[in-house]
Structure 1
Amino acid sequence: MAQTGVRVDPYVNFNFLVELDGIAQASFMECTGIESVTEVVETREGGHNTTVRKSPGKTTYSDLTLKWGLTDSSELWEWRQSIIQGRVLRKNGSIVVYDLANRSEVARWNFVDAWPTKWEGPAFNATGHEVAVETLVLVHEGITRAE
């Protein structure tokens, strides 16, 4: 719990790491889709004609999108190819945030049973100066924040 009069700064969004079971990929430049949504089930009850009861229904998890600069590593490409060939290899992973000094882990989200549903190669432009970026979209079956 924060103390009165003590400034608490939010963590920066660029100091993160994505861990995947058995894959030693270089750092990712972007990770999006850390989200869960619980649908609302509305029911009407007799005798309560002016209101609708709202209860939680099914929870779904958004796809995680990872982006990284093209390197000679092919581990993520090979994982995606195994899916195309009918070999579903599910992996667990984590998104880890570090403090500004990059010394301490300050937040961690663990996701389970992920597999790549989409791969997108880099866009090339002979007049460009940007890093060539690959994209991988992962579906998973749940995400939790570690304490």
Structure 2
Amino acid sequence: MAGEAQDKVWPLPKFYFKVTIGSQNNSVAFQEVSGLDTETQPIEYRHSDNKEFSTIKMPGIVKYGNVTLKKGIFVNDNNFWKWYNDIKMNTIKRETVIIQLLDEKGIPTMTWTLANAWPTKLTGTDLKSDGNDIAVETLELAHEGLTITNGG
């Protein structure tokens, strides 16, 4: 029925979320988050005395995809450009990024934590003289680990 509280029967909606970058505990309002994926590359192996003429597959190196974040551009908000400009050879400021999916009361139901994240790409908005869209910038983050927990 309409208006009833969220329970375990219904899947979670994905539009209410919070992103926190760094240790300051400042959340940033993003429009979209994508790329929360991980992949384990298979290693194929065959024993020399194996009677089967096929290989076995074992888990190999884990690979994490880049996470893409999109947000509106605000006046005098250059924090991501400053972070991106800090990139130098082997001297990048890495941050922990926490992405939380919230329930209707604002309580975290799922949390994705990116370890050692840093910006690999920053894209400013496109400009159109006849458009009426908001200005949106895109931040792409590389990271070294993705953990998922339930709750806060």
TM range (shorter): 0.7 to 0.9
Runs (4+) off by over 6 Å: none
Alignment of 1:113-124 (within 5 A): 113-124=116-127
> Counterparts of 1:7 and 1:86 in 2: how far apart (Å)?
46
Number of the residue aligned with 2:58: 55
Q: 1:80 to 1:15 in 2, by over 3 A?
A: same
- Asked if 1:95 corresponds to 2:99, the answer is yes
Per-residue displacement from partner, 1:68-88 (whole Å, max 9, x unpaired)?
011122111110111158741
Partner of residue 84 from structure 2, selected from 75, 80, 84: 80
Identity of aligned residues (%): 30
Judging changes above 3 Å, is the alpha-carbon distance between structure 1 residues 144 and 26 closer, same or farther for their aligned structure 2 residues? closer
Partner of 1:27: 29
Task: Give the letter aligned to residue 73 of structure 2.
Answer: L
Contiguous gaps of at least 5 residues in structure 1: 1-5
Partner of 2:43: 41
SS class of match (1:141): coil
In the alignment, is the contact (CA less than 8 A) between 1:120 and 1:134 conserved in 2? yes
Structure 2 counterpart of 1:143, from 143, 146, 149: 146
> What is the match of residue 9 of structure 2?
8
Segments of structure 2 that go 5 or more residues without pairing to the other structure are 1-6
Label 1:33 to 1:133 Cα distance change in 2 as closer, same or farther (>3 A): same
Aligned length in residues: 141
Q: Distance in 2 between matches of 1:49 and 1:86?
A: 47
Aligned mates of 2:18, 2:100 — CA distance in 1:
5
Instruction: Give the match's secondary structure for 2:86.
Output: helix
Indicate conservation of the 8 Å contact 2:96/2:116, yes or no: yes
Contact 2:33 2:67 in 1 (8 A): yes
Q: Is contact 1:64–1:138 with CA below 8 Å preserved after alignment?
A: yes
Aligned counterparts of 1:86 and 1:56: Cα–Cα separation in 2 = 30
Would the alpha carbon gap of residues 95 and 78 (structure 1) be closer, same or farther in structure 2, given more than 3 Å must change?
Answer: same
Change (3 A) 1:130 1:10: same
Length-normalised TM-score, structure 1: 0.87
